[in-house]
Amino acid sequence: MLIQIESNKKTGPIVGIDLGTTNSLVAIVEGGKPRVLKSSDGKSLIPSVVSFADEKQPVVGLEAKRNKVADAQHTVFSVKRLLGCGFEDLKPILESLPYTLVQDPEAGLVKIQIGDRAYTAIEISALILREVKKRAEEALGCSVTRAVITVPAYFNDSQRQATRTAGRLAGLDVLRIVNEPTAASLAYGLDKKRQGLIAVYDLGGGTFDVSILKLQDGIFEVLATRGDTQLGGDDLDQTMVRVAAQEILQSFGLDIYAEVHIHSSLLESAESVKIALSTQAEAVLELKLDTRIYRRVWTQAEFEALARPILERTREPCLSALKDAGLQASDLSDVVLVGGPSRLKIVQEIARSIFGKAPNTSVHPDEVVAEGAAIQADILAGNNQDLLLLDVVPLSLGLETYGGLMATLIHRNTRIPTVAREVFTTFVENQTGVDIHVFQGERDRVDENRSLARFKLRGIQPAPAGIPRVEVTFLIDADGILQVAAKDLKTGQEQSVEVRPSHGLTDSEVEKMLASGLENVKADEIYKNLVEARNKAEPVIRAVEKNWDQAKLLLAPDELEEVRDKLDILRQVMQGQKVEAILDATSDLNRSTVRLAELLIRDSLKEMR
Ligand code: ADP
Ligand code: MG
């Protein structure tokens, strides 16, 4: 007889997660069909917002989004725009973010300052993913530890690594990183069993992506992908905010950029106006400024005039993607629109003018990416053998050679996974080490591309310049994540090298965070007990309050005094964090009201007779 001690069978479902700039969603495939998991009150979107009103216990999602105005200084949104980016990358958008960014020069990281703590974008993203994981666990009634997460196709290596690290910090084993438009096309193609060439035009809150795909016999092949990591619906809000800021400065002499609260609530009002204009001809923007009120009517035409030049920025990436794929717009059988802003008429109109055909708006613009992620998860779980996803590298990868020139090893739009090897030599006599500096981008000069990582290969045998042979290998895995290795062919010795993402976290930093995450779990438990204690206390307080007038009639003065004392004590300890104190004060109040309860019951019985 055998007794099973441990099962190595991985249990639990693999979920698909759309970790959006603005909203995140989680989905699963059931009975061959993707389904977005909803909260108990039927909501599918989880706003990608984290609020630190209580620094120990941040809130995430809808509740946090409400704090965007009320507690702007402690509330972080659009963090995906910062993920895997350095300070230089972020200069163009610094002004538009109401929270404070600080530079950690040692780690090369940008951090978000909240009170006296600074958080990396990875940590904030991990908090969002933790909420997503919780949503899935509540909806499915089991623990969820494995996921597929989507990223914009245009995300570079640092941004992909950062996403993966965030998943790990949230307790998720990230089995695959998938490009968002690819995921969208999976859901679109699965549902419709379509064939042919399609463009996926995805305009989200902060990123724009376009991909050209070939769908044939269940194979989804990405032919080309382009995009803009700093373009989205947020920018439409920003232009309206700029107009309002100027008008407010003129009429009221108030600089809203200097007023965090007003700036935040203006942003929120501008977004509401934009959303309203997707279904109405006009909408009113109203903003309370201390005692005065700023009010302005926006017509659709006015809004479109402002939005058009911003949305026109999607044209160039679309045309380039078509060119990369060697196609004309007329070759496409369908243009699929994805993302919240694609509900705007002006967006549909611009997509039509770019591709010369009416776009398809049949997919659910918010849910289609998460659904596609779930389908990919289902494929990885071995359940769907009919589909195959072939993704590509969004940007060329290479290294710096003499004179600051880029030697490209892997070209843009190469299918992944892939490997490339090239041999380099030294430039200086008796050189014993070489600097390997890895870049990503399309320009000939490395200083116009993006630095990804650098390391040194040492121990090269001294030899005249040009003699040593150094073989560099670039390996891209199925997630689009790059590993670089270098080997001295003369000695045959391969050096182990650590490629550190330029704007990510090292393994040891992640370990440290994971360890402190365990402390957080403890803190979570304490918090849970606190909430439970408060939940016990609240109905008791409410009952006393409700019957207070009766109590004044029914109780003797000293009895009344006693109840009032106990009530005051409980109210006071409720302000604090001491679980025991709350439980004790609740029992005390309960005990002091026993006689009152008896009298109340007697009274009500009397009334019934
Ligand atoms: P992301 O993928 O970046 O998380 P979403 O696809 O959820 O973003 O889109 C979020 C953006 O969509 C926000 O800028 C939001 O204001 C905008 N949005 C949502 N609904 C509408 C609508 N009906 N009309 C216009 N914009 C909308
Ligand atoms: Mg999206």
C-alpha 21 to ligand 2 mean position (Å) = 7
Q: Which CATH architecture has domain 521-608?
A: Up-down Bundle (1.20)
Instruction: Please tell me what DSSP assigns to residue 158.
Output: H
State which residues of the chain have pLDDT below 50: 1-10, 498, 500
**Predicted local distance difference test score (pLDDT) of residue 107:** 65
Report which of 164, 209, 215, 207 is spatially closest to residue 390, judged by C-alpha positions.
Answer: 215
For 49-67, write each residue's pLDDT tens digit: 999 987 668 999 998 998 8
Q: From CA 155, how far away is CA 178, in angstroms rounded?
A: 11
Residue 281 CB coordination number (10 Å): 9
Q: Which fold has domain 397-518?
A: Substrate Binding Domain Of DNAk; Chain A, domain 1 (2.60.34)
Domain boundaries 233-309, corresponding CATH code:
3.90.640.10
**Predicted local distance difference test score (pLDDT) of residue 88:** 77
**Predicted local distance difference test score (pLDDT) of residue 3:** 41
Main-chain phi, psi angles of 449, to 5 degrees: -100, -175
**Predicted local distance difference test score (pLDDT) of residue 497:** 53
- Write down the H helix ranges in 438-547: 507-546
Distances (CA, A) of 546 to 205, 376, 533, 539, 590: 47, 55, 21, 10, 14
CB of 39 shorter than 6 A to ligand 1: no
C-alpha 338 to ligand 1 mean position (Å) = 10
C-alpha 341 to ligand 1 mean position (Å) = 5
Residue 253 CB coordination number (10 Å): 7
Q: From CA 257, how far away is CA 236, in angstroms rounded?
A: 17
Q: Which CATH architecture has domain 14-232+310-392?
A: 2-Layer Sandwich (3.30)
Report which of 564, 571, 570, 553 is spatially closest to residue 593, judged by C-alpha positions.
Answer: 564
Residue 229's identity, in one-letter code, is: T
**Predicted local distance difference test score (pLDDT) of residue 2:** 43
359 prior amide bond cis, ω within 30 = no
SS3 state of residue 449:
coil
Q: From CA 209, how far away is CA 320, in angstroms rounded?
A: 12
Main-chain phi, psi angles of 394, to 5 degrees: -75, -30
**Predicted local distance difference test score (pLDDT) of residue 301:** 96
DSSP 312-328: GGGHHHHHHHHHHTT--
SS3 state of residue 383:
coil
Closest atom of ligand 1 to CA, residue 20: 4
**Predicted local distance difference test score (pLDDT) of residue 358:** 94
**Predicted local distance difference test score (pLDDT) of residue 7:** 37
CB of 364 shorter than 6 A to ligand 1: no
Nearest ligand to the C-alpha of residue 365?
1
Q: Which residues place a Cβ less than 5 A from the ion ligand 2? A: 20, 204
Question: From start to end of 360-449, where are the E strands?
Answer: 388-390, 397-401, 405-410, 418-424, 434-440
Residue 106 CB coordination number (10 Å): 6
CB of 275 shorter than 6 A to ligand 1: yes
Closest atom of ligand 1 to CA, residue 236: 14
**Predicted local distance difference test score (pLDDT) of residue 501:** 52
For 468-514, write each residue's pLDDT tens digit: 888 888 888 776 778 888 888 887 767 655 454 555 566 666 666 66
**Predicted local distance difference test score (pLDDT) of residue 332:** 96
Nearest ligand to the C-alpha of residue 151?
2
**Predicted local distance difference test score (pLDDT) of residue 438:** 87
Q: Domain locations in the chain?
A: 14-232+310-392, 233-309, 397-518, 521-608
CB of 366 shorter than 6 A to ligand 1: yes
Q: From CA 516, how far away is CA 253, in angstroms rounded?
A: 47
Closest atom of ligand 1 to CA, residue 338: 6
CB of 238 shorter than 6 A to ligand 1: no
Closest atom of ligand 1 to CA, residue 232: 14
